[in-house]
Amino acid sequence: MNTTIIDGKSTAERVRNELRTAIEDLKQAGHTPGLAVVLVGEDPASRVYVNSKVKACEELGIYSQKWALPAQTSQEELLRLIDQLNRDERIHGILVQSPPPPHIDEAAVVLSIDPRKDVDGFHPVNVAKLVLEDSSGFVPCTPLGCMELLKQYGVSTQGKHAVIIGRSMIVGKPMAHLLMSKAANATVTIAHSRTHDLAGLCRTADILVAAVGRPGLVTAPFIKPGAVVLDVGINRVEDASRPRGYRIVGDVEFDSVAPLCSAITPVPGGVGPMTIAMLMANTVKACRQITARG
Ligand code: GUN
């Protein structure tokens, strides 16, 4: 099989280049898009993600605020900060990095964010808008990035069978809605930890999305020859040969799976870079929508 390796890095760069024009237009009209990124606690992976998000803003000329709060920050303090950001006219997007420390009620935090500034697409108003196919809502960045990759690589979803492994609110569920939408018209199956004969089910997929966080779960017997495989997993596995002592792998065993596919995303360099690019796109969209309403 002649396998296309889907390049998330260059596709993300293409998305960013399109955003540069949109941001310039907004600035000409007197509006600078602004994003607030909030991190509670010291989780090292979360800190890396948050810094990457702020850096992406700087590179595009998006105004950003980074709030790194100590792990013992109370729920009340966090809600007060969100209230302040909801009212800050320089800020069009608010993101609280997940997962927060265990004493924080994440659902209450998400509910406190103004849905018009919820660039993560986690607020129930935006979840409903996704289900209703109301394009004014915000869609979570990772599934949005997956759809953009399919589009940029000319992968038709029309009438195809898409199997998604994983039912999270961040990836699996929104991805299912995007793929079954009237724009994409795929037939969607969501698999999860209780699914019987996972490999057999996945082998019926024209498009397979792996989003469970289990390194190397998807192996050759899961693949229908010619399938398109999107690997959303970002897993740290110990590797003494690396200076950091670990390496990043996906949910797909790339070396055995890739030769069977018509196209596949690698890890790293596939879906990952798209997530931040789509966050930037959502921030620009929020700015446009908020400022148009005055
Ligand atoms: N943690 C992992 N992915 C995400 C994301 O897309 N948004 C937020 N807020 N936290 C995350």
- The whole-number pLDDT of residue 1 equals 82
pTM of the entire predicted model: 0.97
Contact 96, 49 (CB under 8 A): no
pLDDT > 70: percent of the chain: 99
Distance CA 223, CA 273 (A): 25
Catalytic annotation, pick one of 7, 53, 114, 206:
53
Mean pLDDT of 122-142: 98
Q: Give the sign of the dihedral formed by CA 84, CA 87, CA 88, CA 92.
A: positive
- For the chain, the straight-line distance linking the first and the last C-alpha, in angstroms and rounded, comes to 54
Token pair belonging to 38 = 């909030």
pLDDT grade, residue 226 (50/70/90)? very high
Question: 96 CA distance to ligand 1 centroid (A)?
Answer: 8
3-class DSSP assignment, residue 263:
strand
pLDDT higher than threshold 70 for residue 293: no
Question: 97 CA distance to ligand 1 centroid (A)?
Answer: 5
Please tell me which residue, 293 or 205, carries the higher pLDDT value: 205
Mean pLDDT of 26-48: 97
Token pair belonging to 106 = 């994440």
pLDDT higher than threshold 90 for residue 223: yes
Name the one residue in this structure whose structure tokens are 């069978």: 161
- Tell me which amino acid residue 282 is: N
SS (H, E, C) 9-31: HHHHHHHHHHHHHHHHHHHHCCC
What mean pLDDT, rounded, does the chain reach? 97
Pocket perturbation via mutation, ligand 1, pick of 38, 95, 98 by most ligand atoms within 8 A of CB: 98
Catalytic annotation, pick one of 7, 114, 120, 231:
120
